[in-house]
Amino acid sequence: MLIGGFISLLFNELVLTISFAVGASIVVAVTVVPAMASRLLAIKMTSGIGRWCLLRQFNHRFNLATFSYGRFLRKLIRYRLLAIVCAFVIFGFGSFTLAKQIPQEILPPINTGLVNVSAQFPPGSTLATNQKVMTMVEDILKQQPETEYIFSTIGGSTFGNNSTSNPLRSSSTITLKPRSDVLSYVQKVNQKIAQMNLAGVRIRVNPGRVRGIIVNNSPTPGTEIDVLLQGNDATLLERTGREVLRELEENVKGANFRPDTDARQPEIQIKPDWERLERLGLTVTDLGNTINTAIAGSVPTQLQRGNRLVDVRVRLDREQIREPSQLEQLPLFTRNNQIVRLADVATIVNGTAPGEILRINQKQVFVINGNLNKGGNLSSALAEVQKILSTIDLPDGITIVPSSAAEANRQLQNSFTVLGALACFLVFVVMAVQYNSLIDPLVIMFTIPLSLAGGILGLFVTKTSIGATVVVGAVLLVGIVVNNAIVMVELANQIRAETNCDRMTAITQAAPQRLRPILMTTITTVLGLFPLALGIGEGSEFLRPLGIVVFSGLSLATLLTLFIIPCFYVLLHESPIGWVKFPRKSPKITPERQKLS
């Protein structure tokens, strides 16, 4: 909530829900629970579940395990420095090595049950050709058992109430049946379309995206990888862009690429003779209006038919403007009502023009869009793209604009550091104020690197990428994992304040007593996160990395907390920094209060 930006926008509601839920639980714990306990514990009737054979056997086994844990802990603390070094070398070095092998992403792919097909046709393609090819594509889609509905737009695109006509573009949206594997479907359909050998036609099948979530500032929303070339010479820019596109398609295996703009299209260009136009008193506007009326028609008036008005459109017969040479005979009226032909004041030639012009900072750009294939990841794809771009010798005047996807990935990495440091700082400050000391909070904070090692191990085992949800999960883990150490250290301080014993005796008495509540709170939290970590149900991919990080991190951190935190507790209090004492008035703990705790 404090850092703002992309992560705050996505997870603001989640953070608010957890914050208010924890706040409400504190209020209930200090008011409702004591009140109900005072009434319910006074009831002499019992359910008798404590006499159940299996439960008695479990309690007996657990008591033996607690006794063995306490005896082993006393031996381990004698070699506390060796235990701490071994734990940090094994888990620290291991997690650092595994973290380099974990891929990165901005957001995990979410199974929306939709698949998008985009088609680009070569210049000069007719609408009939477009429709014929899309019919063949639809036949392939209908043959797939996962396909439920197909909605195609041929010769343009539609979005809401807006529609754009373009005979070189078509698209389809496929709705899959429930519980279909979208990535496998996309890979299978792409292979079948590639077997069609459509010369010059680019057809790409990509998983559907959640509308409204924009992870980067790419000129084309929804793209995962973008490469932007910029220059002033449009012809050189397009030629260079096509060469770069070909290199990316041949060398990057984890993604497929396509140009965002159509190739240059043929057109009839009318070049006016400016001197003759000026002598005849004609302007370019007159020329354009005449040509527009001849081809598209104009509406000089309307007819009233009942309660509605009908446009009267005036245009030439289609047979008179089918050939470019026929345009030369179009009549133009001068200011003196003299008739001249278009060929007298202009030259008609065949030429080409860009299908679309894109600019960034008033400079024309060539945009290449890319989407990840099944099994591909963002970090490795970006590294491959950067490696290829570094080997290409660009012509003078052509530059590469920084990638929006790469910039968003860098911001995510920076936010991980900032969020982690901020979370640790706030947790440490709160504990330092409560303990009136720096040693005990420092002991408790050592559980955080242990938990992060567990989170990294969980991501590596499940082959989950590091993204925004992982960052939020790590922040939540920082706040959750310290609870077990707080419970253990607090009881050790109470025992030491009451009996005036040494640190080793206090922690070896406190750790076995707190074994049951630590395991109870950890197991309940871990089991609650287990369904989220499994990713059950459609759309669960979004929060699955969060569940994996907290689940694995809390599990490993709890196991290590039972052994490493007591060693830290004794070691730091024996170190020179442990000799610095802060004034603290410790409450007197009676035996009855100790027994109740």
User: Tens digits of per-residue pLDDT, 353-367?
Assistant: 776 777 877 788 888
Per mean pLDDT, which range of 81-95, 306-320, 411-425 is the poorest?
411-425
Confidence of residue 58 (pLDDT cuts 50, 70, 90): confident
Question: 525 with 422: CB under 8 angstroms?
Answer: no
pLDDT of residue 217: 66
- Per-residue pLDDT at 535: 78
Report residue 505 as tokens: 């005796």
Q: Name which residue leads in pLDDT, 108 or 455.
A: 455
Give the Cα separation of 374 and 394 in Å (integer).
31
pLDDT for 27:
94
Tell me the average pLDDT across 494-511: 87
Which CATH number is 214-264+354-402 given?
3.30.70.600
Q: Mean pLDDT over residues 499-514, rounded?
A: 88
> Looking at the predicted structure, is the pLDDT value of residue 271 above 50?
yes
Average pLDDT over residues 364-384: 77
Candidates 511, 564, 534, 223; CA nearest to 369 is 223
pLDDT digits (tens, 9 = 90+) for 561-589: 888 889 888 888 876 544 444 444 444 44
Tell me yes or no: is domain 266-353 CATH 3.30.2090.10.
yes
Largest CA distance in the chain: 118
Distance CA 149, CA 143 (A): 12
pLDDT in tens, 137-158: 999 999 898 889 899 888 887 7
| pLDDT averaged over every residue in the chain | 82
Residues 83-110+404-582: name the CATH superfamily.
Answer: Multidrug efflux transporter AcrB transmembrane domain (1.20.1640.10)
Q: What would the mean pLDDT of 29-40 be, rounded to a whole number?
A: 92
In the chain, the amino acid numbered 437 is S
Burial (CB count within 10 angstroms: exposed 0-12, middle 13-18, buried 19+), residue 519:
middle
| Residue 3 clears pLDDT 80, i.e. is over it | no
Query: Residue 35: is its pLDDT beyond 90?
Result: yes
CB of 368 within 8 A of CB of 259?
Answer: yes
Residue 597 half-sphere exposure toward CB, CA atoms < 13 A: 17
Of residues 355, 286, 270, 364, the one with CA closest to residue 321: 270
Are 240 and 395 in contact by the 8 Å Cβ rule? The answer is yes
- Asked, colleague to colleague, whether 111-208 and 266-353 share their fold, the answer is no
166-188: pLDDT as tens digits: 888 888 889 988 878 888 888 88
Residue 421's pLDDT band (boundaries 50, 70, 90)? confident
Residue 88: pLDDT over 60: yes
By three-state DSSP, how is residue 352 classified?
Answer: strand
Question: Do 366 and 259 form a contact (C-beta atoms < 8 A)?
Answer: yes
pLDDT at 517 over 80: yes
Cβ-based neighbours of 296, under 8 Å, separated by 6 or more: 315
Rounded Cα distance between 387 and 403, Å, is: 14
Task: Give whole-number Cα distances, 237 to 380, 391, 396, 400, 401, in Å.
Answer: 27, 18, 10, 11, 13
Q: What's the confidence (pLDDT) of residue 29?
A: 92
Q: Is the pLDDT of residue 105 over 80?
A: no
Query: Where is pLDDT greater, at 540 or 397?
Result: 397
- Per domain, the residue ranges of the chain are 83-110+404-582, 111-208, 214-264+354-402, 266-353
594 pLDDT above the threshold of 60: no
pLDDT band at 399 (very low <50, low <70, confident <90, very high): confident
| Number of C-beta neighbours around residue 487 at 10 A | 18
- The tens digit of pLDDT for each residue in 328-342 reads 888 888 777 788 888
Q: Report the Cα 407 to chain-centroid distance in Å.
A: 13
Tokens of 62: 């657990």
The pLDDT score that the predictor gives to residue 34 is 93
pTM: 0.71
Distance (Å, whole) CA 570 – CA 440: 10
pLDDT at 169: 85
Superfamily of segment(s) 111-208: Multidrug efflux transporter AcrB pore domain (3.30.70.1430)
